Amino acid sequence: MATSTVRQKSTKPSDRKPLVQFALGTTKAAGGTILGITMLASSVVAGGLVGLAISFRNLPDVRVLRNFVPTETSYIYDIKGKLLDSLHGEHNREVIKLDEVSPELKRAVLAIEDSHFYLHDGINPNSIGRALLVNMKRGAVVEGGSTITMQLVKNLFLSRQRTVSRKLAEAVLAIRVEQIFTKDQVLEMYLNNIYWGHNSYGAETAAQSYFGKSAKDLNLAESSMMAGLIQAPEDYSPFIDYKETKRRQSLVLQRMQGLGWITAKQAEDAKKAKLLINQPTAWKTSELPYITEAVVAELQQRFGEDAVLKGGMRVQTTVDYNFQKMAEENVARAHQRLIARGLYADQVALVAVDPRTHYVKAMVGGVNYKKSQFNRAIQSLRQPGSAFKPFVYYAAFASGRYTPYSTIEDKEVKYRDGSIYYEPQNYGGNFAGTVSLRTAIVTSLNIPAVKIGQAIGIDKVIEICRTLGIESPLDPVISLPLGSIGVTPMEMAGAYATFASNGWHSTPTVIARVTDSSGNVLLDNTPKPKLVLDPWATASLTGTLKGVLQGGGTAPAAAIGRPAAGKTGTTTSERDVWFVGYVPQLSVSVWIGNDNYRPLGRGVTGGGYAAPIWRGFMREALRNEPVKYFPAPSKFPRPKA
């Protein structure tokens, strides 16, 4: 981008830039004489315009360009650097340095737009004189005679209105710009700001849009085509009229040949070369929409919409493209199997979180994004049912008053809640009598969970949930231990990830790092885990939840052949069914339900329907992961009551 360096005009040809040497070295002697006269005339006209400048006291101060940062497209990548999406408003632009533009493109643009660019001081009297004659004959401003510098200031500072006063202002500003910036700086700003059609601003974005390659890699045929578009990008666009595109390309090549910048053979070869036109990229859809939309929401919350759409951010997500695609395919196949089983389920959502970092590894917000863009993984509050119970039992173990082998009476009980009585029921309506807390968890008894919640205190349970990152509203009602409130699959996966890490917690995120286009760090989400849970209580809970996946538990269908823990969830009337489980490397929540809250069907449970989906995903996700074990409670001191 432009800096505040003041251009020092050299009196020696050897001091000029290579591009200047190229231009001068290929100009014939007669042409050199004309250029000399042009430079002299330029000085005379420039002197006259300095006097006119007094009449333009309200013109912008071109020195603001020293710190000018054009609006720039933001890009979202997966954890390995694969581009997932681009974010921009009206201006789709990626800013690059002048040396990142191919020499062929620079020469082609100069040839057709301003072949004397490196020889004038912002205006070209010959071009202006020619334009004045044409305009006088036509009785209107139909030809501009603008230099590249004049085009730059017009695009940045002035209106598009064709008037004599605007042209004079354009000339004055162009002279001012060239008094402050070097020629290369002006050309760099021009190439980064010019519009190339189809919402593509700047050489880099245009090259990617038309040819799927960087501006530095453009050949002569591609460069001459792009240079031909500048005057009327949409009219000459290859997407609209390829013949007109080739006609404009031919004019550019003829001009380059006439200037001696290319040979006749080079011009002919470029004309004959087949242009492999890409598809416009400005409004290309996201590769992973569930991920990128979550990223955008978090970015806008932190930085604001303008910064996201115009700030040129480079966003590295926590998600691997292939892993996310695998998760989406798993969910789609699982949904088809549910339909084949006769289940009336519109949607399935899945979230996977790495317990070691709390980085989101996969997020599937529904079975088909094209049909429904609602992201149920982070936007839908659904009752977790018995999958909420581990929060209650952790609170009990952390209190020091209970162990997994403490006993409790599973029998009829009533609680007064205001003017009514609340009477919890077990699934199936039976009572188990005296049972251990471990048995109550493994067999998912409701009455013991409610009793423990009352004994520990509902407020304490809510406090634990907040510690684990659950931010959804939690009312302190008696039925809270049975998951009677709404939470998201993301919240459940993130909370269970802290159980999987034996109490170490970081804020779950889908963003690993954000920089600006220059590499300056704007956001660094490097994990900073804190021990937020009691290790003994957490290890005791995990040891108990391992039993859920074993024979006699509520989800033997979730067994994956390695140590794993988890909990089923089934709500009243079977509107929501869940399985949330984990190994040391991965915590995953699976939810099944209907957007209109229609019941799934009598007898549908998390263990029978959600657990198999969890198992199928985990087996594929952990295929290349070593077997790891959870720590035993005996390694940690038990908390005191």
- Among 211, 246, 272, the domain-final residue is 272
Residues 6+ apart with CB under 8 A from 489: 349, 350, 351, 376, 377, 378, 380, 382, 589, 590, 591
Q: What percent of the chain has pLDDT over 70?
A: 84
Residue 11: the pLDDT is 34
Cα separations in angstroms, 107 against 104, 118, 584 = 5, 12, 59
329 classed as catalytic: no
Distance CA 277, CA 272 (A): 15
The sign one gets for the Cα dihedral 610, 615, 616, 618 is: positive
Of 181-190, 194-203, 602-611, the poorest mean pLDDT is in: 194-203
Residues 241 and 335 in one domain: no
Beta strand residue intervals within 241-386, DSSP E = 314-317, 347-354, 359-364
Question: Residue 557 sits in which domain range?
Answer: 324-635
Of 188-197, 254-263, 382-391, 479-488, the poorest mean pLDDT is in: 188-197
577 part of a folded domain: yes
Using only the alpha carbons of the chain, give its radius of gyration.
34
* Average pLDDT rounded to a whole number, residues 187-206: 88
| Residue 606 DSSP class | I
What CATH number does residue 472 fall under?
Answer: 3.40.710.10
Residues 433 and 576 in one domain: yes
329 part of a folded domain: yes
Question: Average pLDDT of the chain?
Answer: 86
Of 423-432, 505-514, 522-531, the poorest mean pLDDT is in: 423-432
- Among 235, 256, 272, the domain-final residue is 272
Measure CA of the first residue to CA of the last residue in the chain; give whole Å.
64
527 part of a folded domain: yes
Distance CA 168, CA 164 (A): 6
Catalytic residue among 72, 94, 104, 113: 113
Cβ proximity of 516 and 522 under 8 Å: yes
Residues 425 and 534 in one domain: yes
Residues 461 and 581 in one domain: yes
Comparing C-alpha atoms, which of 109, 113, 117 is closest to residue 144?
113
Residue 376: the pLDDT is 96
Residue 90: the pLDDT is 66
pLDDT > 70? residue 360: yes
Helix runs in 181-235, H state only: 183-193, 203-211, 220-229
Residue 463: the pLDDT is 98
For the beta carbon of residue 477, count every other beta carbon within 10 angstroms.
14
Confidence of residue 366 (pLDDT cuts 50, 70, 90): very high
Residues 245 and 332 in one domain: no
Of 58-67, 78-87, 500-509, the poorest mean pLDDT is in: 58-67
Total count of domains within the chain:
2
pLDDT > 70? residue 514: yes
Confidence of residue 20 (pLDDT cuts 50, 70, 90): very low
Of 42-56, 427-441, 522-536, the poorest mean pLDDT is in: 42-56
pLDDT > 50? residue 54: no
439 part of a folded domain: yes
Of 11-20, 32-41, 132-141, 314-323, the poorest mean pLDDT is in: 11-20
540 part of a folded domain: yes
- Among 272, 307, 332, the domain-final residue is 272
Residues 34 and 155 in one domain: yes
Residue 26: the pLDDT is 41
Of 257-261, 300-304, 606-610, the poorest mean pLDDT is in: 300-304
Residue 132: the pLDDT is 64
Residue 499 or residue 30, greater confidence: 499
Catalytic residue among 386, 399, 517, 589: 386
Residue 558 or residue 130, greater confidence: 558
Residue 278: the pLDDT is 75
Distance CA 401, CA 439 (A): 17
pLDDT > 80? residue 639: yes
pLDDT > 60? residue 56: no
Residues 6+ apart with CB under 8 A from 629: 563, 584
Secondary structure tally for the chain: helices H, strands E? 22, 18
Residues 328 and 468 in one domain: yes
Two tokens, residue 222: 């591609």
| pLDDT tens readout for residues 388-441 | 999 999 999 999 999 999 999 999 999 987 778 899 999 888 999 999 999 999
Number of residues that make up the chain: 641
pLDDT > 50? residue 479: yes
286 part of a folded domain: no
Residues 164 and 240 in one domain: yes
268 classed as catalytic: no
Residues 220 and 365 in one domain: no
What CATH number does residue 265 fall under?
Answer: 1.10.3810.10
94 part of a folded domain: yes
Residue 18: the pLDDT is 44
Residues 267 and 341 in one domain: no
Residues 239 and 360 in one domain: no
| pLDDT tens readout for residues 574-620 | 999 999 999 999 999 999 999 999 999 988 999 999 999 999 999 99
Please give the model's pTM, rounded to 2 decimal places: 0.75
- Interior angle at CA 329, CA 325 and CA 335, nearest 5: 145
Residue 287: the pLDDT is 87
Distance CA 388, CA 383 (A): 9
Cβ proximity of 233 and 198 under 8 Å: yes
Residues 116 and 54 in one domain: yes
pLDDT > 90? residue 266: yes
Cβ proximity of 614 and 590 under 8 Å: yes
Residue 37: the pLDDT is 41
82 part of a folded domain: no
pLDDT > 80? residue 136: no
| pLDDT tens readout for residues 237-248 | 888 898 999 999
